[in-house]
Amino acid sequence: MTEIIKKKHFVRDLTAGAQVDDLFVLAERVLSHKKDGNPYMNVVLSDRSGQIKGVVWDSVEQIAAGARGGEIVKVTGQVSEYRGAPQMVIRAMTAVDPARTDTADFLPATDLDIEQLFERLQGLTRSLRTPWLKALFDSFWADPVFVAHFKRAPAAKMMHHAYIGGLLVHCLSMAVLADKVASHYSGVDRDLLIAGAILHDIGKVREFDFTTAIDYSEEGRLLSHIVIGLEMVEKRLQKLADVPREEANLLKHLIVSHHGAPEFGAVEPPKTIDAVLLHYIDEIDSKINAIREFMAKDATSPTWTAYHRVLGRHFHRGRSSTSSETGSPDRASGQMD
């Protein structure tokens, strides 16, 4: 078995003066020429903690020939500072076989314990009472290739849960919340709602590529995770015995309609109580995650964030940002997310 090369330092921790001999993703590379006609190369190196700019002044052509954009590279150099930001002056850089690296080093990933999250999710599917839904999840969980992808998939490229494990975090949070909502209103079909919470975005395991960077796959751009997810579910349903087709259509309708309205990608609007609820639970979980991640990264002021271009507003960080008293000191334990 190949030996894995360990990454030693992460971008977030690099400061001026540091000597570097480590692995990164070669996220971007631009070959240019100085006024004297000699070449140099600007690059962007990334790992799961962030990005750093780099420059190659010597042996430029030789180094440029050794690595393409998107590859994992071994870099030797020193960190300096340029225009107030760290910049790596690169002396050597060569592509490395990804099989010899731990890809988790290169993409941002959830801080939560993925196995534990997955175990909680399986606990929820074991609690279902509908035989064909249990059989459907048994089929998914028994497929190791699917499970491996499912545990790693992100839920988005940029907006929310845009990291390894993001899909699992998102689906589990929604399923737990769905369980609470199902006990709040009568007339809710708990089994379908929880199944929908887990499966509504299932097509994202194929909509995205997430080896060295998170981006849309060919199939993802052409068909969307909604269509891919329907196909994944249907393929397994066909292999199960005794699936009531009317009920299966109600499950598939949850996938079809979870974006809420056609202009946001819903093929049909939600037409059952469960579909309406699933849409709002998805909205809540993705928006709250997006806003909290934006707040976490933003250092504009203790009270207000910078302007969020997509959501079109500044966000206020709440009471804790303006006063010392917190309204809810004891809520931390037991929270999902």
Binders in 268-327 for its own copies, by CB under 8 A: 268-269, 271-274, 276-277, 280, 283-284, 287-288, 291-292, 303-304, 311-320, 322-323, 325-327
Long-range contacts of 183-192 (CB under 8 A, 24+ apart): 185/273, 185/277, 187/273, 188/273, 188/274, 188/277, 189/250, 189/272, 189/273, 189/274, 191/128, 191/129, 191/130, 191/133, 192/130, 192/133, 192/247, 192/250, 192/251, 192/254, 192/274
Decide if 258 contacts 275 (C-beta within 8 A). yes
The footprint of its own copies on this chain (CB under 8 A) covers a number of residues equal to 97
Smallest CA-to-CA distance from 105 within 234, 247, 5 is with 5
Closest CB 233 distance from its own copies, rounded Å: 10
- Does 71 interact with its own copies (rule: CB under 8 A)? no
- Does 16 interact with its own copies (rule: CB under 8 A)? yes
- Does 187 interact with its own copies (rule: CB under 8 A)? yes
Residues 99-158 that bind its own copies (CB under 8 A): 128-130
* Contact stretch for its own copies (CB under 8 A) within 70-78, 142-150, 154-162, 252-260: 252-260
The whole-angstrom separation of Cα 122 and Cα 128 is 10
- Does 180 interact with its own copies (rule: CB under 8 A)? yes
Binds its own copies by CB under 8 A, chosen from 67, 182, 202, 214? 182
* Residue 4 CB-half CA count within 13 A: 8
Closest CB 46 distance from its own copies, rounded Å: 19
Question: Cα–Cα–Cα angle for 35, 80, 89, nearest 5°?
Answer: 55
- Does 176 interact with its own copies (rule: CB under 8 A)? yes
Q: Which is nearer to its own copies, 34 or 126 (CB)?
A: 34
- Does 3 interact with its own copies (rule: CB under 8 A)? no
Closest CB 253 distance from its own copies, rounded Å: 4
